[in-house]
Amino acid sequence: MILFIGVAFLLRLASSYVVVPIEVRLAGIAAGAIALLGWGWRIRSSRPGIALPTQGAALATLMLVTFGAFKIYHLLPSTPTFALLLVLVAFTCVLAVLQDALWLAVFGIVGGFAVPILTSSGGGSHVALFSYYALLNAGILAIAWQRSWRSLNLLGFLFTFIIGTAWGVQRYEAQHYASAQFFLALFLVFYVAIAVLYAWRQAPQWKGYVDGTLVFGVPTVAMALQYGMVKDMHLGSALSALALGLFYAFVAAALWRWRRGNLRLLVESFFALAVVFGTLAIPLAFDGRWTSAAWALQGAGMVWVGLRQRQPLVWRFGILLQFGSWFYFVKALTGLDPLTALTEHISLGFFVLGATGVFLALTLRRQSLPVGDDKDAARAGFGVWASAFIGIAVVWLLGGMWVEVWLRVDAVHRASLYVLTAMALVYGLQWLGRRSDWRMPAVLGGAVTALAGITFLALMARYMRWYNVDVYSEQSFGGSPERRRAVRRRAAERWRAGVGIRLQATLATGPGRRRGCRP
């Protein structure tokens, strides 16, 4: 750098006393820079501390002369200037790899990305611009094959996507979709490959280490840019998320077949991205009820797989998906009219959430069981999760049955059916508790029994007089035969609603229990 500044001041001083055509001056500076570059290369082995700065100063001088001839003195047209600068950038990167000089490569790449900005006249084709950046990124990929230079990879990623985003915000139009889509996919493939090479080329003690910025930053930025292009297309966002998920699933499978244990962390990261984008595609394509069902089933599967393979991140993400499925289902129910709920069988959603809740409760319950004398806090935590999920599952199942009764049955018959459906759920919980040797389902069965009784009493208070005065007073007060028959029919309907509570009490505490049935 000092040498470069000294040369610049010397030339400035000389220009004050000697009148030389500008073409000759620029040619002389370029010749001096080439000679300086040759000398720096010659002493690379004997004096490396001087050789690399000398080469950097020479290359910077050549780039500066080329740019000055184009921009300031108008001696070169834009196309030859562009080509010369590209050659200088490529030559700089080659020298950096040959001498294992990271900063020289950084200098070349920064200069390369700056070339189209410096030589731009305000117009030009975006295809030419991104083709040039594709060549630069291909160079970074070639360097990544030889050297694990993280800072160089990050610089290329930042320059590519920042400039691409700036162009998209200012210049993108619908007719650019095909070319922009091609270059976005190409840059995505470049930086996924660079992330793979970086993990592959690590030293043995760091084998498999991944660059989280590239692994997770590239798909995030790419999906954001993709959304900007397809947001007005039918299912465009959903199909884009699905395609990105399938791409990462394919890469994860290919890496697993290629390197297995060596790149395990990278494979798991790509698999997680595939799951995330596949999950994201569902709410982008469907309404809340379909999203809820899909997320509930997917979350249950992820919890099961994560617990079997001892992958905490996987099963925790599965539980998070369960929370998301509940949220979307409740959101879908908001403002839904009874006729729509009846025709679209809304109770099926309750049953899906309830069934997945029971499955998760049993899966987590198995993890909470002590092995020998092992009763650590982690297993106790699984027990808490299992109790929470079985409780929430009971809420979904009872809610689904009662919603179905409310939608399909006349008001006068609802009370008894509420009790009967609750009774069925109670005995299902008792059976589950006996099969799994778990006390919590029986406790929840008692809570459901109490809730059913309170609900029954509340409904009976609305639909009938407790002493049924009409029945007792019809003979006393007289009336026509039609009037008496109507009173008896109405009273019979109201008393018939009370049969359920008697049957519930009989089955729960009566002869069946005394004959030795297990609770």
* Cβ within 8 Å of residue 283, ≥6 positions away: 291, 328
pLDDT of res. 47: 83
pLDDT at residue 489, as a whole number: 57
Residues in the chain: 519
H-type helices in 309-376, by residue range?
312-333, 338-343, 347-368
pLDDT at 101: 82
Q: Give the mean pLDDT of 195-221.
A: 78
Q: Are 174 and 113 in contact (CB under 8 A)?
A: no
Closest CA to 354 of 294, 398, 290, 321: 398
Which has the higher per-residue pLDDT, 1 or 211?
A: 211
Helices of type H across 43-149: 48-71, 78-99, 102-119, 126-146
Average pLDDT over residues 336-343: 71
**pLDDT the model gives residue 503:** 46
DSSP one-letter code for 374: B
pLDDT band at residue 518 under the 50/70/90 scheme: very low
pLDDT at residue 511 greater than cutoff 50: no
Query: Which residue did the predictor score with more confidence, 300 or 251?
Result: 251
User: What 8-state DSSP symbol labels residue 375?
Assistant: -
Q: Which of 8-17, 114-123, 381-390 is least confident?
A: 8-17
Cβ atoms 442, 430 nearer than 8 A: yes
More confident residue, 393 or 410: 393
Arithmetic mean of pLDDT, 424-439 = 89
Q: What is the pLDDT of residue 225?
A: 92
On whether the CB atoms of residues 97 and 147 are closer than 8 A, the answer is yes
Summarised one tens digit per residue, pLDDT across range 45-57 is 888 778 888 888 7
Neighbouring-strand partners of residue 371? 374
pTM: 0.64
Collapsing DSSP states into helix, strand and coil, what is residue 371? strand
How many angstroms separate the CA atoms of 199 and 217, rounded? 16
CB 219 within 8 A of CB 185: no
Query: What integer is the mean pLDDT of 302-327?
Result: 83
Distance (Å) of CA 244 to CA 27, 274, 341: 51, 7, 34
Whole-angstrom Cα distance, residue 283 to residue 281? 6
Read out DSSP for 140-193? HHHHHHH---HHHHHHHHHHHHHHHHHHHHHH--GGGHHHHHHHHHHHHHHHHH
| CB of 394 closer than 8 Å to CB of 423 | no
Q: Residue 328 above 90 pLDDT?
A: no
State the average pLDDT over residues 177-195: 94
CA distance 89 to 206: 31
Per the CB < 8 A criterion, the answer to whether 449 and 508 are in contact is yes
Instruction: Report the distance separating Cα 77 and Cα 69, nearest Å.
Output: 9
Residue 235 predicted with pLDDT over 60: yes
User: For 101-126, what is the mean pLDDT?
Assistant: 75
Backbone angles phi, psi at 172, to 5 degrees: -65, 135
> Minimum mean pLDDT among 217-226, 353-362, 487-496: which range?
487-496
Q: Say how far apart CA 66 and CA 354 lie, in whole Å.
A: 71
User: Residue 121: pLDDT band by 50, 70, 90 thresholds?
Assistant: low
Residue 463: the pLDDT is: 55
**Confidence tier at 158 by pLDDT (50, 70, 90):** very high
Closest to 135 (Cα-Cα) out of 73, 85, 86: 86
Rounded (10°) CA dihedral 438, 443, 444, 445: 100
